[in-house]
Amino acid sequence: MSNKVRVYELAKETGLHNKEVLRRLTDLGVDAKSHSSSIDGADAARFRESLGKTDVERKAEQEAKRRREQAELDRYRSMQAAAPPERKKAAKVLPPHLREQQAATPPPVTAPSEGETPAPADQGTGDATAPAPSAPTEPEAQDGQPVPPTQEPAAPSEGDAGAKRMPGAPPPRLKPGEAPLRPPSQRAPQPPPTATGDAPELRRRGDQALPQEGSGRRAIPPPLRKAPARPQPQPGAPAGGRGGPGAPGGAGRGAPSGPGGGRGAPGGAGRGAPAGGRGPGSSPYRQPVGRSGPGGTGGPSRGPAGPGGTGGPGSGKTKRKKKRERQSPAEQELQRGPMRRDVPIEEQIQVERVEVLSGITVGELADKLGVPGAALVKKLFDMGEMATVQQTLPDDTVEIICADLGVDVYFMSEEELEFGIEAPEDPGTLESRPPVITVMGHVDHGKTKLLDAIRKTDVVAGEAGGITQHIGAYQITKDGRRITFIDTPGHEAFTAMRARGAQVTDVAILVVAADDGVMPQTREAIAHAQAAEVPVVVAVNKIDVEGADPNRVKAQLTEHDLVAEEFGGDVPMVEVSALQQIGLEDLLEVVLLQADLLELQANPDKAARGRVVEANLDRGRGPVATVLVQGGTLHRGDILVAGTADGKIRAMFDENGQPVEEAQPSRPVQVLGLNEVPEAGDEFRVVDAERFARDVAERRSARERRKELADRRPTTLEEFTSAVQAGDKAQLNVIIKADVSGSAEALEDALLKLELDEVQVRVIQKGVGAITQGDVRLAEASDAIIVAFNVRPGANAREEIDRSGVDVRTYRIIYEAIEDIERAVKGLLAPEFREEIVGEAEVREVFKTPKGFVFGCMVIKGEVRRDAGVRVIRDGVVVAEDTMTSLRRFKDDVKEVREGFECGIGLAKFQDVKEGDVLEAFETVEVARD
C-alpha cells in the first residue's frame, strides 16, 4: 500500500498555499477536502509531476506582467506630470479691480527646475499692478516621506521688499509698478524637463484649450522649458502633475487666496490626490473679499494634483484611491464605464442574440443584454410589469421584452448549459443493442399477466388489488437475443407514467382485451405512442374468454389509424392469451422483427447516460433508482447526476436482485448511492468528479425553486377584493407520501384535478418513504391531512400523530385514495340552503290582546311548527314575512299543530293580518353539496 501524504505537507514542500494545492488536486480528480486530508502517494506523485513546468511558467508570466504594469504606470505618471487633466468650471464675473489686474498680468513663464537659481524676470512692463502675495504653503510629502521647502535665493528688489516678515504679519504695501517678491517657500518649483528637452503639449481627448486671460478659467500650460528668469505669478496656470512640483495656482475668481491647506499644493484640475488645496477663489467656502492676488504655489503631490486653494490639511489616501493609482488609465476608464443615466436602453444594447435558461432573473437578463439592472426594471415598468432585479421572469415575458428591444432569445436546456452540445456519434463506434419494449393498455386488460407469462413469473400476485401501480423494467433472452420490457400502469391516474414509458421505448406493445375492446386508457396509450413516433404492435389478449371477438377489436383500432396487416395496413396484430400462454412466441418474433427494421445501435465505450424509470426510498438501502441505460456503459463506482440527485454508485442490481458490475445500453438496473430520490423520468449522466455533479445538482435545485416562485403569480388588488366579497375560499392542504416517486406524482395529479371553484386542493409537500415526525409536524402547523400510499408511519411518527391529532389516511389502491379525497373536498364546499314548506294555516278570526294580536287559524296542510318562519299570503301575493312569537292550542303552548286542528298564532312584527289570509310555515334546510 502506498504511503499517505497530507495536503499541508505538499503545500510546505512545494511552497504553495493550502488552497492552491487543494484546487490543483481537485483538477487532477483527487478528492481532498481540507489541508489535513490525506492522499495516496501515487496521487502526490502526480501532483508533483504537474508542477514541474507549471510553476516556472507561472513565475515568468507574473514577472512579465509586473514589468508591463510598471511600465504602464511610469508612462501614465509621465503623461500626467506633463499635462494634468483640467477641470472645467463656469467662469465667475470678477470685480472691476480684479479684471484690471488680470488683464495687466504678463503671460506665464515656466519656473526653473528644483535646485536652480532663478534670475530676475524682465520688468519691461512696469505698468502692471501686482496683487498681494498669498500666505506661504509647504510642499506635500511624496510617498510618505516629508519634503523640505524649496530653498531658492531671493531675487534683488527695491527697499526691504525682500526682507523677512514674521508669520501672520500683513504683507507690505507696494508702490505702483513694483512687483511683489515671494519668499522661498512660495516659489513654485516646476517639474523636471523630459529627456528630449521640451515636452509636447498633452491634452485629453475632447478637451479644448481655454483662454488664459479674462475668462477666469484654467488653461493648458505652455510647453515646459528651462527658463533662466524668475517666473511671474500667473493666474490660470494649473499646478504640476503627479510626482513633480506643482505650478502656480489657477486664476482668481473673486476671492483672495487663503493659507494653503496643510501640505496640500494648490493644484490644477486632476482626479488624483485630495491633499492639494484649491486655487484662489475656487474654494467652496466664503472668503473675505479683498485685493486679488496670485494663487499659492504648487507643491509635490502624490498623484494628479487636485484643485488648489484654501482648505484644511491634506488627508491621507484611502485604499480605493491607492488602488486606482495602481491601475492604468485604460483600466480606470473601463472600471468607471460610460455614463448611461440618460441613454435609452435600446441604444445601450450591443448584442443581437442572448441564450438564457427558463426562470432567469431580471438581473441575469440585464447582464446578458449588457445593460444596468435599473434600466431593465424601468423598461419593464414602462411595459406594465412590476419587477425587481432579483425577481424571476416567466419565459413569455422574456420573449416579449427581448422582441421589444430587437434581440433574439434562445432558451437553452439544462443539458446544453451544463454539458454542452454533444457531437454526433462516430458510426464506427456504434454497436447493436437490445430493443426496449413498453407494454401499454387499459387497466385489467392483462399487461402484467402477459409479461409474467413471457418471463415465467407472477408479478400480478404482488400488486395490491391486482393492478400495476409502478413501472417495472425487465430483460429476457429469446433465442440468444436480449429484449428489455417496461411495464406501465393502465389506471387513468398514471398518465405521466405511460408518457414516460413511451419516451424511452423503441417498440410499443398495445394490449387490448378481446372481450372488452378499445377503452379510454387504450386510446390514451395510442396517443402516447403516436406522439413518441414509435412503432406499435397490438396484442389482442384474452382470446380464450367467452365473448371474445378479436375482429371487433381490430375494427375499432382502425378508427384510431391502427390498421392491421391483414386489412392492408402496416400494424402487426397478434392474438394471444396470457393465461393459457397462447401466441407468445409469435408475439416475440414480431417484436424482434420490428427491432431489426429499426437497426438499433449505441456506443458502449463512453460515459453512460439514460433515464430514471422509477425511484423509491428503501429503509435499509436509502434512495434506490431504477435506471435504463440508453448510451455508454454504467459501472459500479461511477459518479452519477440525475435531476437534483447525485452520488457515487455503491451497488447495482438487475431485475432479479442479483448484483452486477456494469450495465450496457438498453439494460435496466437498480442503483444505490444517490443522496436523494430522483424524479421518475429524469435523465441521468455519468460525470468525472463528485464536486461537478454536486454543483450541477445544486444549480438545478435552485433553478427549480426560482421557477416555482416565478409561477406563483401575485394576486392583484381587484382579485383580492372580489375574493373577499365572495367569501373566503376553502382550501384543503395535503401532504403526499408514497413508496415510489411515480405513485406520488400520479396521486398529486389526480388530486389537483379535483380542484373546484370554491375549494382549492394544495399539495404542500410530496415525498417518498415512510411518514416521519417532520411530516406530522408540518401537517399540524399547516392544518393539512397526510395521504399515505403504500407506506406507514414509524413509531415516533405514530406517537406524534396521537399527540397532535393529525388526520393520516393510508391506502394501497390509488383509486380508493382519489375517491376518499374527493369526498373530503366536497365536504368543504359551502352547503346549499333550501326552503321547505312544512304547512299552511288559514286565518279564521283575529283577536286583540294586551300583548298584541292573536290570529285564530285552522291548519289546512301539513303542520305548523313553533320555530318555523311565516309568510302572510293574501290573494296569492306574499304580503309579509315574519317569525312566530307564540303557538297555542287552546291555552297551552305547543311546539307544533298538525293538519285539521285549530290554533292561535302570534307574529313578531306584522300585525295587519285579515281573515282569509293564509299563513305559510316554512323552514330553511341545509343540504350538502354533491
**DSSP class per residue in 209-277:** PPPSSSS----PPPPP---SBPPPP-TTPPPP-BTSPPPP-----SS----B-TT-----S-SS-S-S-
Q: What are the tens digits of pLDDT across the range 206-250? A: 444 444 444 444 444 444 444 444 444 444 444 444 444 444 444
d(CA 373, CA 367): 8
pLDDT at 364 over 80: yes
Question: Hey, where are the domains in the chain?
Answer: 4-52, 53-87+94-104+187-285+293-337, 345-412, 429-602, 609-708, 728-827, 832-927
pLDDT confidence tier of residue 638, bands split at 50, 70 and 90: very high
**Half-sphere exposure of residue 294: CA atoms within 13 angstroms, side-chain side:** 29
pLDDT confidence tier of residue 651, bands split at 50, 70 and 90: very high
Q: Cα 307 vs. chain centroid, distance in angstroms?
A: 46
d(CA 338, CA 495): 56
Burial of 147 by CB count in 10 Å (0-12 exposed, 13-18 middle, 19+ buried)?
middle
Q: What's 466's DSSP letter?
A: G
pLDDT confidence tier of residue 870, bands split at 50, 70 and 90: very high
d(CA 653, CA 657): 5
Question: Which pLDDT score is estimated for 198?
Answer: 44
Q: Looking at residues 439-454, what average pLDDT do you find?
A: 81
- The percentage of residues in the chain with a pLDDT greater than 70, rounded to a whole number, is 61
Amino acid letter, 187: R
Task: Please give the class, per CATH, of domain 609-708.
Answer: mainly beta
Cα–Cα distance list, 378 to 195, 348, 375, 682 (Å): 54, 14, 5, 38
- The percentage of residues in the chain with a pLDDT greater than 90, rounded to a whole number, is 7
d(CA 267, CA 299): 8
Radius of gyration of the chain (CA): 47
Q: How many helices (H) and strands (E) does the chain have?
A: 23, 33
Which position has the higher pLDDT, 413 or 255? 413
**The CATH number of the domain covering residues in 832-927:** 2.40.30.10
d(CA 795, CA 671): 28
Q: What H or E segment, with its residue span, contains residue 383?
A: none
Query: 751 in helix, strand or coil?
Result: helix
User: Are 728-827 and 832-927 equal in CATH topology?
Assistant: no
Find all residues with CB under 8 Å of 184, minimum gap 6, and list them.
149, 150, 151, 152, 153, 154
pLDDT at 758 over 90: no
Q: What are 886's strand-pairing partners? A: 906
The verdict on pTM exceeding 0.75 is no
Closest CA to 448 of 472, 465, 464: 472
pLDDT at 148 over 50: no
d(CA 77, CA 272): 11
Find all residues with CB under 8 Å of 566, minimum gap 6, and list them.
554, 573
Contact 510/536 with Cβ under 8 angstroms?
A: yes
d(CA 484, CA 663): 13
Which position has the grid cell 504606470?
A: 73
d(CA 922, CA 549): 60
Torsion from C-alpha of 759, 760, 761, 764, nearest 10 degrees: -140
* For the ranges 76-80, 87-91, 806-810, the one whose mean pLDDT is highest: 806-810
Closest CA to 429 of 666, 688, 610, 633: 633
Q: What H or E segment, with its residue span, contains residue 918?
A: strand 918-927
Query: 750 in helix, strand or coil?
Result: helix
Q: Looking at residues 787-813, what average pLDDT do you find?
A: 84
Per the structure block, which three cell numbers stand in for 226?
528651462
Question: Which pLDDT score is estimated for 274?
Answer: 41
What's domain 728-827's superfamily in CATH?
Answer: Translation initiation factor IF- 2, domain 3 (3.40.50.10050)
Cα–Cα distance list, 397 to 34, 710, 715, 731, 857 (Å): 45, 11, 18, 30, 73
Instruction: Out of 3.30.750.24, 3.40.50.2020, 3.40.50.300, 1.10.287.890, select the CATH number for domain 429-602.
Output: 3.40.50.300
Contact 837/862 with Cβ under 8 angstroms?
A: yes
Q: What are 852's strand-pairing partners? A: 849
d(CA 867, CA 860): 18
d(CA 689, CA 236): 67
Q: Looking at residues 170-189, what average pLDDT do you find?
A: 45
Q: Looking at residues 572-592, what average pLDDT do you find?
A: 88
d(CA 452, CA 814): 22
Question: Which pLDDT score is estimated for 501?
Answer: 54
Q: What's 607's DSSP letter?
A: B
Cα–Cα distance list, 515 to 574, 577, 643, 716 (Å): 15, 12, 42, 55
Q: Looking at residues 322-335, what average pLDDT do you find?
A: 53
Amino acid letter, 177: G
d(CA 666, CA 632): 10
d(CA 825, CA 781): 20
Q: What's 899's DSSP letter?
A: T
Query: 414 in helix, strand or coil?
Result: helix
Question: Which pLDDT score is estimated for 748?
Answer: 82
Question: Which pLDDT score is estimated for 96?
Answer: 53
